Amino acid sequence: MTDSVPLDDLYQEIILDHFKNPRNVQKLSDEEVLIEEENPTCGDQIRVTAKVEEGCIVGIKYEAKGCAISTASASMMSEALMNKPVEDARVAIQNFTRTMKGEQEMSEDESGDLIALQGVKRYPLRIKCATMSWHALDHVLDKMSVEK
Amino acid sequence: MSCFNANTIRSDFPVLDQILYDGKPLAYLDNAATTQKPHHVIHAVQEYYEAYNSNVHRALHFLAERATVAYEETRKKVVSFIHANTERSIIYTRGTTESINLVAYSWGRKNIDEGDEIILSEMEHHSNLVPWQILAQEKKAKLCFIPVLEDGTLDLNAYTHLLSSKTKLVAITHMSNVLGTINPVQKMIDQAHQAGALVLLDGAQSVPHVSIDVSQLDVDFLAFSGHKMLGPTGIGILYGKEAILESMPPFHGGGEMIHKVELEQSTYTELPHKFEAGTPNIAGVIGFGEAIDYLEGVGMGAVQSYEQLLTQYALSKLEKISGLTIIGKALERGGAISFTCEGIHPHDLSQYLDREGVAIRGGHMCCQPLVRKFDSTALNRLSLYLYNMEQDIDQLIEALLKAKEFFKT
């Protein structure tokens, strides 16, 4: 990356790192997939599964096909919500969504890598890219709580 | 080509003369989505509002008289531009989409019955697909699709086999907004007529770029939009053969389209007003007339040959970029060029190019089935028009190379 490259508010280095080396990605069989989400306007897709033990998320795996923002966001989510109690994860999902909509600010010390995604909210057409995986996980948790 | 001066033409378009972001000039390459407007068009719209804003075909005062004349003048220009025979064949609509919906609702509901077949192609824009899906579902009719071949042309052999006595309509695009392919419509229309079917041409991408002769084509309907040919948004045309339009029931009911109205029933006025209910987009129509004058002034032949040169220049430059795949390799083609760039999502690429001053499209281009056919969900597309120059393409290529470096994994 050279200094002359613009767009660094959107494509921060940490985002490009998660895009190029997404964490917790795994090819999933159809039986494993709990939720599949698609954004028909850009064709981005995500397939997610999660493992919950004693009310705590002990595993998040996903397969994503999409842009740098959606891929990086899914990767960051899989790290941020790992080992969190389901209730806390729910709150985190809600907070993240609200931040993307510009309804609240992210707190720098709590959010880790996620802070890099703050820039996305200035690009209204890209907000869905960032929130898709979070919605998908939310639906996964819905599904698991019903099945329980 | 001798009279064609791209520099002079470009200076007629105020919006193109601007610097974006860090001193990057604007390279507008999204003309298949909408085109920019020359100051002639902008002034005509402004003049209407400043000097003679009034409703048309109603009042008898000075302003109304002038507005009505200007409004109808555009219709005459359209007749001559597409080589129609009569103003009765020219219906003002909001755009190509409304033109096609008009045919689907009015002609379609009257003439399509259970078991009838409508032939479309796999390269149709959603606007020439969804109206027919709605009609076919309502009437239990069947939609048949001409396949798109690997090179981006239509499988004409398959088309010949799809045509039968069940075929009531063939609705196809003249030029693909994704692949750039110009379809051999003269032959396809002749074949359809031999089978007893009518033909609707989606001319949204072709009418702005190539010379059209509806009389020679013998096409039954032609739909196109003003905003893709230097005119304002919200104004389009449905051309229809007079006798067919005459036989069709109205589309929208309301003012302007009536002859005599009673509480229980009404009679309708004559063509073309029968299909123009309500106060129309008067400023849009007047601006569109100015756009046609502008294109006629340059000459559609000159527009076409200049764009051919520019298209070949763009293709030759794009082909040299490694990892870049051009989607659609038809020999007969226009200046809409779609591609994918290995490892870069189309939205990331168009976002990056934007910051380099380059406006191109990323997405499914309102052709989800077609894009899926080419194993993709989204593509990038550049699309040219008469005011583009080699410098725009050079700016795109340079930005593309930088983007590849930026997103390199």
pLDDT reported for residue B20 = 92
Query: Is the minimum CB–CB distance between A11 and chain B shorter than 8 Å?
Result: yes
Instruction: Provide the percentage of residues in chain B whose pLDDT is more than 70.
Output: 99
How many helices and strands, by DSSP H and E, does chain A display? Answer: 5, 3
**Where do we find the tokens 């020999």?**
B331
User: Does the structure show a pLDDT above 70 at A6?
Assistant: no
How many domains is chain B built from?
2
Residue B8, CA distances (Å) to B24, B295, B298, B388, B389 in order: 21, 14, 11, 11, 11
Domain boundary among B261, B279, B297: B297
User: Does the structure show a pLDDT above 60 at B314?
Assistant: yes
Q: What is the pLDDT of residues B162-196, one digit of tens each?
A: 999 999 999 999 999 999 999 999 999 999 999 99
Calculate mean pLDDT across residues B212-234. 98
Query: Is the minimum CB–CB distance between A42 and chain B shorter than 8 Å?
Result: yes
Choose between B87 and A115: higher pLDDT.
B87
pLDDT reported for residue A106 = 82
Neighbouring CB atoms inside 10 A of A86's CB total 17
Of B185, B246, B175, the closest CA to residue B208 belongs to B175
> Does the distance separating the beta carbons of A7 and B352 come in below 8 Å?
yes
- B:387-406 residues touching chain A, CB 8 A cutoff: 402, 406
Q: What is the pLDDT of residues B297-312, one digit of tens each?
A: 999 999 999 999 999 9
> Does the distance separating the beta carbons of A1 and B378 come in below 8 Å?
no
Of A50, A53, A71, A72, the closest CA to residue A61 belongs to A50
Q: What is the pLDDT of residues B89-140, one digit of tens each?
A: 999 999 999 999 999 999 999 999 999 999 999 999 999 999 999 999 999 9
Per residue, the 3-state secondary structure of B294-341, as one string, reads: HHHHHCHHHHHHHHHHHHHHHHHHHHCCCCEEEECCCCCECCEEEEEE
Under CATH, what is the fold of the domain A4-147?
A: Sufe protein. Chain: A (3.90.1010)
Cβ-based contacts of B362 with chain A (< 8 Å): 42
Q: What is the pLDDT confidence band of residue A73, given thresholds at 50, 70 and 90? A: very high
> Does the distance separating the beta carbons of A6 and B355 come in below 8 Å?
yes
| Residues B249, B169 within the same domain | yes
| B36 lies in some domain | no
Q: What is the pLDDT confidence band of residue B203, given thresholds at 50, 70 and 90? A: very high
Q: What is the pLDDT confidence band of residue A3, given thresholds at 50, 70 and 90? A: very low
CATH number where B375 lies: 3.90.1150.10
Calculate mean pLDDT across residues B386-390. 98
> Does the distance separating the beta carbons of B363 and A42 come in below 8 Å?
yes
Best mutation site among B22, B345, B408 for testing chain A: the one with the most A CBs within 10 Å? B345
CA distance B237 to B285: 10
User: Does the structure show a pLDDT above 70 at B87?
Assistant: yes
Choose between B84 and A123: higher pLDDT.
B84
* Torsion sign across C-alpha atoms A91, A94, A100, A102: negative
| Residues B149, B95 within the same domain | yes
> Does the distance separating the beta carbons of B407 and A43 come in below 8 Å?
no
Q: Report the residue of chain B nearest A4, measured CA to CA.
A: B22
Domain-by-domain residue ranges, chain A? 4-147
ipTM for the predicted complex: 0.84
Cβ-based contacts of A43 with chain B (< 8 Å): 364, 371, 376-378
Query: Is the minimum CB–CB distance between A65 and chain B shorter than 8 Å?
Result: yes
Single-letter residue type at B156: L
| Residues B280, B311 within the same domain | no
Q: Domain containing B123: what range?
A: 42-297
CA distance B155 to B157: 5
Query: Is the minimum CB–CB distance between A3 and chain B shorter than 8 Å?
Result: no
Query: Is the minimum CB–CB distance between A18 and chain B shorter than 8 Å?
Result: no
How much is the mean pLDDT over chain B? 96
Q: What is the pLDDT confidence band of residue A148, given thresholds at 50, 70 and 90? A: low
CA distance B258 to B278: 10
Q: What is the pLDDT of residues B321-330, one digit of tens each?
A: 999 999 999 9
The number of residues in chain B equals 409
Cβ-based contacts of B355 with chain A (< 8 Å): 6-7
| B116 lies in some domain | yes
Query: Is the minimum CB–CB distance between B126 and chain A shorter than 8 Å?
Result: no
Strand partners, B237: B92, B224
| Residues B197, B345 within the same domain | no
| Residues B291, B350 within the same domain | no
This prediction's pTM: 0.93
Which parts of chain A are beta strand (E)? 35-39, 44-53, 56-65
